[in-house]
Amino acid sequence: MSDTIFDKIIDKSIAADILYEDDLALAFADINPQAPVHFLVIPKKRIATINDISKDDRELVGHLYWVAAQLADQKGFASEGFRTVMNCNEFGGQSVYHIHLHVLAGKPLGWPPYSDELKESLE
Ligand code: DGP
């Protein structure tokens, strides 16, 4: 599996606004925010897609949610609420092939992603 831009963020060869780091995970602000608060939580281990998560990775993936919840609490939007999304492959809208949990907050968010409007535009 080839390197992605996130490997460069992990090894600090390119800059990011880092919000949290430990041995297993890193959280940083998304470069193209889709909500007032938008950051990504990624494992340091390179896993390309959700489809590549192994049985041994289950705890690591759970850890990403724990990091998201810690930051939500620390930044004061936990009780208001937020959205976590992990896109997978083309139809899921994945563009960086290193799994990442999007954390979006700060305003009420729309749902569902496959709206009637979108359905009509794709027909
Ligand atoms: P996805 O489409 O689910 O694969 O989301 C990839 C996200 O990664 C997208 O919201 C933008 C973000 N992103 C891509 N390149 C960079 C970068 O160089 N720095 C930061 N901070 N975010 C990036």
Q: 60 is written with which tokens?
A: 């690591």
Mean pLDDT of 50-67: 98
Q: Closest by alpha carbon to 68, among 59, 56, 77?
A: 77
Classify domain 5-122 at the CATH topology level: HIT family, subunit A (3.30.428)
User: CA 90 → CA 13, 49, 97, 106, distances in Å?
Assistant: 28, 11, 11, 27
Q: Whose CA is nearest to atom 16 of ligand 1?
A: 31
Q: Is the pLDDT of residue 1 over 80?
A: no
Quick one: average pLDDT of 1-21? 95
Order of strands, sheet of 82-85, starting from the edge strand that comes earlier in the sequence: 18-21, 25-29, 37-43, 101-105, 82-85
69 vs 118, which has greater pLDDT? 69
pLDDT, position 118: 86
Question: Hey, what are 6's tokens?
Answer: 């996130």
Lining ligand 1 with CB less than 6 A are 5, 16, 28-32, 87, 93-96
pTM score of the predicted model: 0.96
Q: pLDDT exceeding 70 applies to what percent of the chain?
A: 100
